[in-house]
Every structure is written in C-alpha cells, then in structure tokens.
C-alpha cells in the first residue's frame, strides 16, 4: 500500500509541469479550445487554477482579490505563485483580519499553533525538510 502511494505521489509530481504547460496553452488559444484560468462564482468568490505570479496584479486590480485559498501541493506552488507576504501580518493579526471580514470563521487554538509555526518557518526563509506538517490541526 505504501509503495502505491509513493508511486502515485511521484507520478503526480512528474505530470504536474507538462499538464500546467498544456493548461497555459489552452488559456492562450482562441476559439473552442480556449480555457479560462478562473471564473467568478459570485460577487466575492473566484474559482480557478493556481494564480500564477503573472496574474497577481490583474487579479488584485481588476478582480479585487484580497486572498487566496489553495489546495495545491507545496511542490506546485514553490516556483509559480506569488507567496510573498503582502500585509506582513503576524498570525494573530491575520486571524483578526479574517474575523473582521468573515465573522463566522473561527480559528481553533491548534490551527493557530500550526499557523504560528508555519509563519515562523516562512519568515525564517527555510524549512527543515521542505515540507510542513499539518497533522496538528
């Protein structure tokens, strides 16, 4: 079972960049083959692919994007997305900002601990093994 999971993870990594290039190509071609990078679902939500660095300015200025929730693997975001800290908030400040905007979202103490550890690793610029353990949530 472990070998199968390892093989699947490796295959996903190998196929990621070729499929990303294919998706980028589909976004550039006109006509029936064209595929939009994202779609507006309602006044506050866009649903789409990972926002690449080249799209950041457009998404902020044209679409008023103020945050991104991604379900990507770390290797998918390492070189392609804009992960710089725009606001330079501490974890506590980020939680307060989220609470002002979406009062129904509650961050549990364990989640805040994970966020603090992640923030510490990111601001240090390195991680021990290049991954982040979210099993504490």
Q: Is residue 135 included in any domain, yes or no? A: no
Query: Do residues 20 and 43 both lie within one domain?
Result: no
Q: What is the pLDDT of residue 30?
A: 93
Beta bridge partner(s), residue 47: 39
> Please, which pLDDT band fits residue 129 given cuts at 50, 70 and 90?
very low
**pLDDT tens per residue, range 70-125:** 767 777 776 666 654 456 678 888 788 777 766 777 778 888 888 888 778 767 76
Q: How many domains does the chain have?
A: 2
- Identify whether residues 27 and 91 lie together within a single domain: no
Whether residue 110 sits in one domain with residue 53 = yes
Distances (CA, A) of 131 to 2, 34, 82, 95: 19, 35, 18, 23
**Residue 4 belongs to a domain:** yes
Question: Do residues 54 and 26 both lie within one domain?
Answer: no
Whether 107 is covered by a domain: the verdict is: yes
pLDDT tens for 50-68 read 788 788 888 888 988 877 7
- Please state, in angstroms and rounded to a whole number, the distance separating the CA atoms of residues 78 and 82: 9
Q: Is residue 98 part of a domain?
A: yes
Decide if 50 contacts 72 (C-beta within 8 A).
Answer: yes
Q: Is there a domain that residue 115 lies in?
A: yes
Q: Same structural domain for residues 31 and 4?
A: yes
Whether 89 and 106 share a structural domain: yes
Q: Please, which pLDDT band fits residue 133 given cuts at 50, 70 and 90?
A: very low
User: Residue 38 to residues 25, 48, 87, 110: CA-CA distances in angstroms?
Assistant: 15, 4, 24, 32
Closest alpha carbon to 37 in 62, 15, 10, 1: 62
In a domain, 134, yes or no: no
Is the separation of the CB atoms in 95 and 107 below 8 Å? yes
87: containing domain? 36-127
Element spanning 45, H or E? strand 45-48
């Amino acid at each position: 079972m472990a070998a199968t999971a390892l093989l699947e993870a490796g295959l996903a990594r190998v196929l990621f960049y070729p499929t990303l290039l294919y998706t980028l190509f589909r976004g550039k071609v006109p006509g029936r083959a064209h595929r939009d990078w994202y779609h507006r679902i309602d006044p506050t939500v866009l649903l789409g692919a990972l926002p690449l660095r080249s799209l950041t300015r457009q998404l902020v200025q044209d679409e008023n994007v103020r945050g991104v929730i991604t379900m990507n693997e770390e290797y998918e975001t390492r070189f392609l997305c804009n992960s710089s800290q725009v606001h330079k908030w501490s974890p506590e400040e980020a939680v307060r900002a989220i609470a002002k905007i979406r009062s129904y979202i509650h961050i549990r103490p364990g989640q805040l601990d994970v966020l603090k550890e992640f923030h510490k690793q990111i601001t240090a610029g390195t991680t021990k093994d290049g991954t982040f353990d979210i099993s504490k949530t």
